[in-house]
Amino acid sequence: MASRAMKFPVLLALFFVLGSLCGCAHGPGAPATSGRVVVLTGASSGFGRGVALQLASRGDRLVLAARRTELLESLTRECEQRGGRAVAVTTDVADAAQVARLAEVARREFGRIDVWINNAGVGAIGRFDETPLRDHDRIIDVNVKGVIHGSHVALRQFRQQGHGVLINVSSVTGRTAFAYQASYSASKHAVRALGAAIHEELRANGERGIEICTIFPYAADTPWWPNAANYTGQSPRMILIDPPGKVIAAIVRATTHPRREISVGWKAKVLHVFQRVTPTLTEWAGGKIAHDQFVIEPPPAPTGSGNLHEPGPIGGIDGGVREKIKFEDAAREPDGLRDGG
């Protein structure tokens, strides 16, 4: 037991050391292109909203998709104020017919699709068998079938045009599974496999004008957290949570500089290295971190299905998770420590 207890702090220390070696600095930004036609799912909040606003500032033409019509229409107006053109299309990506309609609107309004970004995603936190089966089903419907639906219509359009960039947003859980996020982890592994398989097909057929890119963010402070289904009975959190801007910048850059797989930030890069070099230790540490952050550390919170079956109430780009964690940690400290005594 003592040797196992020693491994956890040692692993965290290695994370920090490798982080400095992996490099948190990014290269120069992508050139300011304009006029591209970009379809973006999950646009109403979080990464999607941030990406839409940055692309609009470059003068791109955007087809914005999400379930929340009012937020989409507000975002459309803001994008146009920034110099882009935008169309809002209320879409549940789990419905193949709605995704086909999304592509049709893009073609009708702008004549082509240059970039398709599958960003929509939902999740649940809790013990696998205590999470309702209908919630597991819904996660797969949105995170896997939704990405398949979007990728399918995008690839058909790209092949007609002879060019296009498909960007699928996975997660670090698409490489390293995390306890209490079983279906979410499974769905993000599927997103990675889908991108790899499509990439192989394109390479085998010599189709060099079409790019496939899968993005792997670390946990980021977006409304995903307060909107997620939660069956832990606690308020979920994560250590070293990233600001959303880091991931937004990576997605925007990928629209002009796509790579097959992009890990965002040093924590995602280090997790990738550790998963390949020492998977058993990485999975043990990940399980301990998840148990501490989802079950042990947070204060009590109500359970429920979040935004899985109905759109969630929380919009914006930032989820307020970092501030919430600071408040919760301060509330647990003894008065003397809190006052600096």
Q: 321: how many CB neighbours lie within 10 A of its CB?
A: 21
Q: Which residue has the higher pLDDT, 118 or 337?
A: 118
Q: CA-CA distance, 115 to 167, in Å (whole number)? A: 8
Going by pLDDT thresholds of 50, 70 and 90, the confidence category of residue 236 is confident
Going by pLDDT thresholds of 50, 70 and 90, the confidence category of residue 242 is very high
Q: Which residues pair with 165 in a beta bridge?
A: 115, 211
pLDDT in tens, 273-303: 999 999 999 999 999 999 999 999 899 999 9
Q: CA-CA distance, 129 to 135, in Å (whole number)? A: 11
Query: What is the reported pLDDT for 1?
Result: 42
Query: What is the reported pLDDT for 13?
Result: 42
Residue 12 lies in a domain: no
pTM of the entire structure? Answer: 0.88
Identify the weakest region by mean pLDDT among 1-15, 74-88, 325-339.
Answer: 1-15
Active site residue 231: no
Range of the domain at 262: 33-335
Catalytic member of 180, 184, 218, 231: 184
Percent of the chain whose predicted confidence (pLDDT) is above 90: 82
Domain count for the chain: 1
> Measuring CA to CA, which residue among 63, 56, 43 is closest to residue 83?
56
Residue 28 lies in a domain: no
Query: Is the confidence at residue 175, as pLDDT, over 70?
Result: yes
Residue 5 lies in a domain: no
Are β-strands 210-217 and 164-169 bridged in parallel, bridged antiparallel, or unpaired?
parallel
CB 61 within 8 A of CB 39: no
Query: What is the reported pLDDT for 334?
Result: 63
H-only helix segments in the chain: 2-22, 46-57, 69-81, 96-110, 133-140, 146-161, 182-204, 224-227, 244-254, 265-277, 279-291, 321-332, 335-338
Residue 128 lies in a domain: yes
Query: Is the confidence at residue 24, as pLDDT, over 90?
Result: no
Residue 14 lies in a domain: no
Query: What is the reported pLDDT for 336?
Result: 43
CB 150 within 8 A of CB 100: no
Query: Is the confidence at residue 330, as pLDDT, over 50?
Result: yes
Q: CA-CA distance, 308 to 224, in Å (whole number)? A: 11
* Amino acid identity, position 186: A
Q: Which CATH number fits the domain that encloses residue 141? A: 3.40.50.720
